[in-house]
Amino acid sequence: MNINFSGLDNVPPSGGCILATNHLSRLDTPLLFMAIERTDFSGLVTDKYRHNPLFALFVEVSDSIWINRDIADHKAIRAGLDHIKNGGLLGIAPEGTRSRNGKMLQAKSGVTLIAEKAGVPIIPVGIYGTEDTMSRLMHFQRPMIYAKFGKAFLLQPIDRSDREQSLLRNTDEIMCRIASLLPPQYHGFYSGHPRITELTQGMNQ
């Protein structure tokens, strides 16, 4: 298995921040924990994996946070916010679930709400190659996995007079930042979004 990490210097060595990533495979979360050296890195992990012994052990060892993605899990969100406000790094998959087709799904606004309350930078991460890793290994092929870490950024303030539109704008911004780190075939719901073109052109200048 070949794993290529790039942009890890965009992860600050300390201080509260959010790491936002796309989600293609159960391997994504362990991959990020393998890449990031910070001891205060925690993540929101869907409780659908709670009965998986390996994931349960991983969550316990990494001090991650179980979250029920089917409801507004205020307890998990508060725990995540407390972790950030205490100077920790919190990993979140804005899509809320693993993509089954290898393409980005429309994100939920949860990460935007957390970012708004925390007021900390967001580090976008684009992961690809994990979607068929197990299949390739079973066929004695060597998978190529990539995890690209983008530059940290801050979201625009939420406009209280047009809250829903502001949430959508900021959520799209997060996802387009992630998409700009991925090959076009992974863009899925966000394919053709003009913001991705702007970001990609900016990186190439």
pLDDT number for residue 139: 57
For 96-145, what is each residue's pLDDT tens digit?
Answer: 888 989 999 999 888 898 998 999 999 999 999 988 766 665 656 677 89
Give the helix, strand, coil percentages of the chain, each rounded to 5: 45, 20, 40
**Average pLDDT value over all residues in the chain:** 88
| 31 or 69, greater pLDDT | 31
HSE value, Cβ hemisphere, 13 Å, CA-based, for 50: 9
- In this structure, of 57-66, 147-156, 193-202, the range with the lowest mean pLDDT score is 57-66
- 171-194 average pLDDT score: 97
**DSSP summary character for residue 187:** -
| pTM as predicted | 0.91
Tell me which residue range forms the domain holding 28: 2-204
Q: Give the chain's domain count.
A: 1
CATH of the domain at 183: 3.40.1130.10
Task: Please give the C-alpha separations between residue 89 and each of 78, 153, 164, in angstroms, as whole numbers.
Answer: 14, 14, 27
